[in-house]
Amino acid sequence: MPESDERRTVRLTIEDGVAELVLDRPDKMNAMSVAMVRDLMDSLDAAEQGGARALLVRGEGRAFCSGRDLSEADPLHEDGETILRDLINPLMTRMAGVAVPTIAAVHGACLGTGLGLALACDILYAADDARIGSPFARIGAVLDSGAHAAFVSRVGPHRALELVYTGRLLSGREAAQWGLVNRSVGGADLVRRTRELARAIGSGPTAAFLESKRIVRMIQDGSSSLTDLIAAEAAAQGRASRTHDYQDGISAFQEKRRPAFTGR
């Protein structure tokens, strides 16, 4: 039987090494409340501690996540910096740094903090008719949740500012064409395709995958020279060479059989 963690705003299941984290406020289009942020943080901890080797993040109902729950906002008195610094930014950092490969499955609205959460995952698949972008021009706010960096690195500064200035929302198909997401698929196939992807990744040499995830993050940080990076690759290869997966993987190649990866 799968392990489960039932919450009011989030559901987490772990089965055969694959965790599935579901945003579960369908009546609110999974708008991100304070409670949901806390539940997400707890569930990411539980996924790691529960032995997950891959993590799929998706939303229940008509949307992935429509952004911050503005019913909790107090525009006359709140400090936007404090909200981001103390609540939202730690979640985005935690999502980006989860110690398993992560996949986001986006459908319907994927906006604001929901967009940041999806972009913080390693791989992002979107339904063809998903609506993805920055609605902040409509409310006088600044794009946040790390989306500036993702927009600029994935679609370029000119398109990033176009999306910010106009508030234009991309369909999943357009987002894939622009390179903002990995690919788009038919909405009816999204969950099946991403679950298959999560199972395939989770059955692979996930310790080696995490070494690559760390190196990619180093590159994104932009502070490492080529010398630093190839040294990091060498150190990662050294750690990998002491794992079961490295040893069995090369032995399996030599013996012309399938390897039995364990993630260790």
Residue 49 maps to a domain: yes
224 and 111 together in one domain:
no
The overall pTM is greater than 0.85: yes
Distances (CA, A) of 209 to 24, 89, 263: 29, 25, 9
Q: What is the number of other CB atoms lying within 10 angstroms of the CB of residue 189? A: 13
Predicted confidence (pLDDT) at residue 37 exceeds the cutoff of 70 = yes
37 and 166 together in one domain:
yes
46 and 122 together in one domain:
yes
Mean pLDDT of 138-161: 95
Residue with tokens 């930014």: 89
The total number of structural domains in the chain stands at: 2
Digit-coded pLDDT (tens) for 51-89? 999 999 999 999 999 999 999 988 899 899 999 999 999
Q: Which amino acid is at 93?
A: T
150 and 32 together in one domain:
yes
SS3 (DSSP) at 259:
coil
**pLDDT, position 227:** 96
Q: What is the number of other CB atoms lying within 10 angstroms of the CB of residue 8? A: 11
Residue 145: which pLDDT band, with cuts at 50, 70 and 90?
very high
The CATH number that applies at residue 146 is 3.90.226.10
CA distance 160 to 154: 9
Sign of the CA dihedral running 20, 210, 214, 181: negative
118 and 227 together in one domain:
no
102 and 160 together in one domain:
yes
Residue 6: which pLDDT band, with cuts at 50, 70 and 90?
very low
Which residues constitute the domain of residue 182? Answer: 3-202
Digit-coded pLDDT (tens) for 88-119? 999 999 999 999 999 999 999 999 999 999 99
Residue 166 maps to a domain: yes
